Structure 1
Amino acid sequence: MSDVHIHRTHDLGLDRAREISRQWVADAARKYDMVCSVDSGEAGDTVEFKRTGVSGQLVVSGDHFELTARLGFLLSGFQRAIQAEIEKNLDGLLAREAGDRRA
């Protein structure tokens, strides 16, 4: 098995970070057939996601995102490509948010 670990800091605050995580969840569900659940708390949210061969969580706080995923045997050979795709998607959402805030 292989693990994916991604950490991104931000200065968006919790409300905007939650909105971005909702976009990420919607994209993951639509594009990759992920089943996602969100556990909301006062200090942040934990998004649990899974599908055949992948399970993990995205921790959302007011100043960072922390994603961990465990890849099953069949997907472990694609760990670098999967991590790169997740990073691209999350970084794209953050970049779009930064652009929206400047406008």
Structure 2
Amino acid sequence: MSTIDIRHAHSLPLAQARKAVEGVATKLGDKFGMDYRWEGDVLHFVRSGVDGHIALTPQQVQVTAKLGFLLSAMKGPIESEIRRVLDERF
């Protein structure tokens, strides 16, 4: 099992950052069948082979995910795509 842990600084108001994360989660949910739920300022997501969360603070977004065996082989491309989306949205 591999773990992804990415921290990305942002300067958005927390409500706007939350909307950005919600937009990404909605797209991922539609595209990959991912379920998600908010607990405070933390969005938890899960689907077969992935379990993680996105935590928001006033100055940072932190994405943490545990990848199952099959997705572990794709860790590099998955991390690259997460970083690209964070750069684009924040």
- State the TM-score, normalizing by the size of structure 1: 0.81
For the aligned residues, what is the CA RMSD? Answer: 1.0
Q: Report if the CA contact (8 A) 1:39-1:46 is conserved.
A: yes
Q: In 2, distance between residues paired with 1:49 and 1:68?
A: 10
Identity of aligned residues (%): 32
Q: In 2, distance between residues paired with 1:14 and 1:58?
A: 13
Name the SS for the 2:11 alignment partner: coil
Equivalent residue, structure 2, for 1:9: 9
Instruction: Confirm whether residue 25 of structure 1 aligns to residue 21 of structure 2.
Output: no
The answer to which structure, 1 or 2, has the higher relative contact order (CA under 8 A, 6+ apart) is 2
Structure 2 unaligned residues grouped into runs of 5+: none
Higher mean Cα deviation, 45-54 or 83-92?
A: 83-92
Name the SS for the 1:84 alignment partner: helix
Name the SS for the 1:62 alignment partner: coil
- State the TM-score, normalizing by the size of structure 2: 0.92
Deviations 1:35-93 (A, max 9, x none): 101112xxxx1100010000000001211100000000111011001111122122211
Change beyond 3 A, Cα 1:64–1:15: same
**What pairs up with 1:37-56 in 2 under 5 angstroms?**
37-40=37-40, 45-56=41-52
Equivalent residue, structure 2, for 1:101: none
Structure 1 moving runs of 4+ over 3 Å: none
Aligned residues: 90
Structure 1 counterpart of 2:80, one-letter code: A
